[in-house]
Structure 1
């Protein structure tokens, strides 16, 4: 029964590398290598201030590959939290897959295991929850549990042409494309504002 009473919780799921911070082909192996994208932390804070809870769903196969350990992962998260606090924002939880592709887990995106974990942890139906990422697998993982897909043209998608971005988005029906996380936040909050205004007009 609790599931229904908590379902009103406003939740946004973000990818990390390439969406919130600069991506690296050689993995982010230290806190020093973690660099936020312009406007990304402010976007999280804006969502928070509007009542949205923000969680991360991130593949971190560098753990499984032995490129860094949990202490490093925690140090990166501590840096993220510290910088975000300065902006008045927060990340409510981090869900990550430490496995390498050959491990056969169900939590490595594009599989939806992380998103199922999020739904269970927060007691929410993931249908309609926005998922924001820079790659096809982010969108596929979220869409598998009914999330609303949003692609940002940063990270991996920054390397794509307009046609390639449209082709990628077409693989996950309903995908909305944004320049970056700040553009997503502006779009999402404006949409919420319009929905409230429409509901008020009907009332």
Structure 2
């Protein structure tokens, strides 16, 4: 695997509000936070750019709503911000795609000449997947560090319910099989980025 010298790590919605189990339910992949931290560390140590994305929910009662404690980044992310040698960007959004936030992520990437992005964060099948799909559609080479993401179970139409693990796998298959992104393990990204 090739990770470009200027590849941007896009850390999606790693916010305290996702710790509210009563709101979200059971998550998958308990190792995700350690893997996200490892990616940030290697990006910072190699001087690559890191984009931190924060979801400012407009839904009343959301654990991610602006002004609420849950809106803030998890401590291990907040503690790493501003510590790297590369460029950093904070994008805020109220929809699923980081490409529809403020400031304009696509414009920032184009201005910097960046064509490869590596995604990690929360939720696998929501904001990570939507950002990956849009990135792929916009012509970026998108890599998803699958085990540096997690999600929660959901109920859909017809009473259908899928577990967090089922949703995460379906997301990975759709992204990788559909050609939107290359879905890989964190250890492979870290090894290629060193």
What are structure 1's unaligned runs of at least 5 residues? 1-7, 28-35, 99-107, 194-203
Which segments of structure 1 move beyond 4 Å, counting only runs of 4 or more?
21-25, 88-91
**Aligned partner of 1:142 among 100, 124, 135:** 135
Report how many residues are paired.
159
Q: CA deviation at 1:132?
A: 3.5
Distance 2:55 2:71 in 1: 17
**Which 10-residue stretch deviates more, 139-148 or 161-170?**
161-170
SS at match of 2:104: helix
Counterpart in the other structure of 1:66: 60
Matches within 5 A, 1:1-203: 9-17=6-14, 26=23, 37-61=33-57, 64-67=58-61, 69-72=65-68, 76-77=72-73, 79-84=75-80, 92-98=88-94, 108-110=95-97, 112-114=99-101, 117-121=104-108, 123-133=111-121, 134-135=124-125, 136-147=129-140, 148-153=142-147, 154-156=149-151, 159-160=165-166, 164-165=170-171, 167-170=173-176, 172-173=178-179, 175-179=181-185, 183=186, 186-192=187-193
Q: CA deviation at 1:53?
A: 1.5
RMSD of aligned residue pairs (Cα, Å):
4.1
TM-score, normalised to structure 1, is 0.56
- The structure richer in helix per residue is 1
Q: Deviations over 1:2-30 (max 9, x none)?
A: xxxxxx85422222249xx7686836xxx
CA change 1:12–1:166 in 2 (3 A) is: closer
**Which 10-residue stretch deviates more, 88-97 or 141-150?**
88-97
The structure with the largest alpha-carbon Rg is: 1
SS at match of 1:38: helix
CA change 1:46–1:55 in 2 (3 A) is: same
- The structure richer in strand per residue is 2
